[in-house]
Amino acid sequence: MTERLRAIEAGMAGRDTAMAELRSQVEAAETEARTARASVAILTGELERARAAMDADRTTRDAAAEARIDELEGRIAALEARLAEVERPPEPAPEPTPPLAEAPPEEAPRLPGAEELDRALDLADQAFRRFFGMVEDLKRDYDEQRI
């Protein structure tokens, strides 16, 4: 019977050792879990700060884009008004009054020469190219989300 007691005591000692090892593993797992939870909390905070910064940056870009669009719309409206003014037909001349005395014959209105007409067309071409270039730049900036 003493042998049986010794065997039981040996089994109990082995069980105590196994239990101590399991306790050590559980404590290590709990420590690792606490570390992981702390890391998750830190990363979550960093993610929230990054999202807030990104939203602020997007808001700033959107405001800048809106301001630029408003500026360009104002310029377009001014150009359209000027164009309408230029394209408006001249007002009809008032009925001529009969001359009181013989007046010298009036000269016919002077029409622009070919050189002046070429110059005017070149200026209009340059203006339209600049305008469409600005529109393309704005479109490209918008597509690249720089605005």
Residue 100 domain flag = no
- Residue 138 is part of which domain span? 114-147
Residue 103 domain flag = no
Residue 98 domain flag = no
CA distance 31 to 20: 16
The predicted pLDDT at position 99 comes to: 60
The predicted pLDDT at position 69 comes to: 92
The predicted pLDDT at position 145 comes to: 79
Condensed to tens digits (0 to 9), the pLDDT of residues 3-40 reads 776 777 776 777 778 788 888 888 988 999 899 899 99
Query: Domain check: are 76 and 16 in the same one?
Result: yes
Query: Domain check: are 77 and 129 in the same one?
Result: no
Q: Which residues contact 120 (CB under 8 A, 6 or more apart)?
A: 112
Q: Is the pTM of this model over 0.75?
A: no
Condensed to tens digits (0 to 9), the pLDDT of residues 99-129 reads 665 656 677 777 888 899 899 999 999 999 9
Condensed to tens digits (0 to 9), the pLDDT of residues 31-90 reads 998 998 999 999 999 999 998 888 888 888 888 889 999 999 999 999 999 888 887 777
Residue 104 CA to chain centroid, in angstroms?
67
CA distance 56 to 114: 57
Q: How many domains does the chain have?
A: 2
Residue 63 domain flag = yes
